[in-house]
Structure 1
Amino acid sequence: MPVPAPILYPPFNIVRLSHVEYRVTDLAASRAFYVDTLGLQVTDEDDTVIYLRAMEERGHHCVALVKADAPSVGVLGFKLYDEPDLDKAAAWFAARGLPVDWVERPFQGRTLRTRDPFGIPLEFYVKMDRLAPIHQNYALYRGVKPLRIDHFNMFSADVDASVRFYNEIGFRVTEYTEDPETGKCWAAWMHRKGGVHDIAFTNGRGPRLHHSAFWVPTPLNIIDLLDLMATTGYLANIERGPGRHGISNAFFLYVRDPDGHRIEIYCSDYQTVDPDLEPIRWDLKDPQRQTLWGAPAPRSWFEEGSLFEGASLVESALRAQPIIAP
């Protein structure tokens, strides 16, 4: 697929991704994983929800863990630049026949709730409660020392269509994987904040959330987390890595939380702020695309993901086969 030209002046201004709401079945088990093991900081909690932030973040939360009967993803959140952008976004989604609801959300100002054409629940806001900085309070650092939420990756039944839609609202393609037999896009990485991606799409039954990712200081923090998980009952939760991606050039590790939600620990990608940045094309059969060095991804990485609440699943028509570990 020809990658669409970036829209440098989109209909409303998305600053970055902001937060994810995970539905979890056991708050205590989830707290032990996200707080005691990964090292996210609790900003508020009760017997139904836990709010978390990473060490460099000033907004109230980047993760909400909500008690539920079954695991799912409630919403993906994005921060807009200013209040007029909220009204522009509402008008834009309404004009395309997509839902527009103004909702009350704890610790957030005026919030627009909608869905993309594929069923992914989205919310947009401008103001979230601001907290005191803690990035130099080194006594609080533990686990993998997560600094900030970095990106979401979603399974999409039609990656080309997903790219076209999110391109319209200002996300720009940095890298993509093309199936050489059909010319279709098998995966794509798109950004707003100037890293390799705020969102990405991977071919598969969708929509489902493939993973959320957290940026950490160095690859050594990832090694420390592996040692910690291997000796505190989380060995089976280590799914893939460590390694370095060809796409994004990032050092990575994939782990699963107690409900199976996939989390990527991530560092070392590159700057993408130039408006004339040329997207990098990868061939689906290039083994260094997914892993510059190290083992191929396991089958679970290509097939398992978290359901979005209220979204209907669609099978992908693109049957191209990536390289899978034996």
Structure 2
Amino acid sequence: MKPDIIRIAQATFTVSSLEASKEFYVDLLGMNLLHEENDALYLRGVEDREWTLKLEKCGDGEVPRVRHLGYRVRCGECLESLVELAEKQGLPYRWEEELDRPKMLRLQDPFGIPVAFYHEVKTYPWLLQEYHQHRGPGLQRVDHCNVRVPDVKATLDWYGQELGFRLSEYTVDEAGDYWAAWIQRRGGVHDFALTNGAGPCLHHWAYWMPDAMSIIKTCDILAGARQPERIERGPGRHGVSNAFFLYIRDPDGHRIELYTSDYVTVDPDFEPIKWLRDDPRRQTLWGAKTPRSWFEEASPMEAFDGGIQPAQEGKLTGIPVHVI
């Protein structure tokens, strides 16, 4: 049986200062602090019924990184099928326990991406209609992640064949080589995006916003806090996904996208949308230029046995390895 993955569900970042991170994510962005420990913060949006972002204090001398990206699966048997897959393909794996998640499978995919899968989780009442508790611009729920990988096509094929991800949109060059792909499990445009470049590195972690005005409000909040440098790109509208977007950077440089207004892909006759790499409408319908940092900088990922996962050069672009 193939594992039935429901959706992207959580990520763990390490950070250099929990105090600075709390000011950014909780005080400015208004994320809800579900749990707080001496060495970790557990955050969620107003619609999330479980924590979706863990911020963990770095060890002495460590570089801030992404410890793993997490997916929720349909049943306990799905975890066992993932173990069978890991053993068949020689992928490193282990069982872990996390707050509110008593049984979590951590493995490293064939491309070096650290991923975790879980079924059982403690949930909490949502805050979506508790409007008196809302703060900041209104981050609603986790939406997707984007990872920079050296070989988009190989990664796309593995996630599709082995984990059942479906293709929504993709970018190719004149020779037909894949430069990017947007794949999903829950019926939106993507749970997981792949972009070509040095990696594996996390390009961004994204939250769904209630509307475009909430994204604009984020810009006002950061400007009012005298932190406009946190705004890296946008606001604007993507060609791919049609979404309204904003990219911001946290105190350690981890990139967060605030995202809204894409579309559903649930119909059985849905056909993936093809874009040419040189189509100027692909990245931004409005034509605004993208800063070089957006192409060149990304968060390093943790290796299975600790430390930083070495980043390989991009197969097509030759973009230099430049992690934050």
Give the shorter-chain TM-score range: over 0.9
Q: Which residue of 2 aligns with 1:318?
A: 316
- Provide Cα deviations, 1:282-316, integer angstroms capped at 9, x if missing partner: 00000000001141211111110000012221001
- Between the aligned partners of 2:179 and 2:73, the Cα distance in structure 1 is 29
Matched, 1:240 2:238: no
- Please identify runs of 4+ aligned residues in structure 1 that moved more than 6 A: none
SS at 1:247 equivalent? coil
Q: Is the 8 A contact 1:243 1:294 kept in 2?
A: no
- Which of 179, 183, 191 pairs up with 1:186? 179
Q: CA deviation at 1:317?
A: 2.4
| 1:48 partner letter | D
Q: Give the match's secondary structure for 1:109.
A: strand
SS in 2 for 1:173: strand
Whole-angstrom distance in 1 between the partners of 2:125 and 2:273: 39
* Number of the residue aligned with 1:36: 27
Letter of the structure 2 residue corresponding to residue 62 of structure 1: T
Percent of paired sites with the same residue: 46
1:30-65: CA deviations, max 9, x gaps? Answer: 011111111110011122000001101112x10000
The one-character-per-residue Cα deviations of 1:56-105 (angstroms, maximum 9, x if unpaired) are 1112x100000004210001000000111111111112111101211121
Give the AA of the match of 1:314.
Q
- Work out whether residues 281 and 287 of structure 2, in 8 Å CA contact, stay in contact via their aligned partners in 1: no
The answer to whether the aligner puts 1:63 opposite 2:53 as a matched pair is: yes
2:201 counterpart residue number: 208
Q: What CA deviation, in whole Å up to 9, does each residue of 1:192-219 have, x standing for no partner?
A: 0111000001110000000000001000
Q: Give me the whole-angstrom Cα distance separating, in 1, the residues matched to 2:78 and 2:52.
A: 21
The equivalent residue for 1:170 is: 164
**Partner amino acid, structure 2, of 1:160:** K
**In the superposition, relative to structure 1, how do residues 278 and 320 fare at CA in structure 2: closer, same or farther (>3 Å)?**
farther
Correspondence for 1:282: 275
- Return the offset for 1:133: 2.2
Q: Retained in 2: the 8 A contact 1:188–1:201?
A: yes
Question: Where in structure 2 are the equivalents of 1:292-307 lying within 5 Å?
Answer: 292-307=285-300
Q: Alpha carbon RMSD of aligned pairs, Å?
A: 1.2
What CA distance in whole angstroms lies between the structure 2 residues aligned with 1:238 and 1:274? Answer: 36
Q: CA deviation at 1:107?
A: 1.1
Aligned to 1:3: none
Cα drift, residue 320 of structure 1: 8.2
- Kept in 2, the 8 Å contact 1:290–1:296? The answer is no
The answer for the alignment partner of 1:80 in structure 2 is 73
TM-score normalised over the length of structure 1:
0.93
Q: How many residues align?
A: 310
Describe how 1:81-230 pairs up with structure 2 within 5 A.
81-168=74-161, 169-180=163-174, 182-230=175-223
CA contact (8 A) 1:188 1:202 kept: yes
2:12 equivalent to 1:21: yes
Q: Tell me, which stretches of 5 or more residues in structure 1 are unaligned?
A: 1-9, 322-326
In 2, distance between residues paired with 1:320 and 1:98?
27
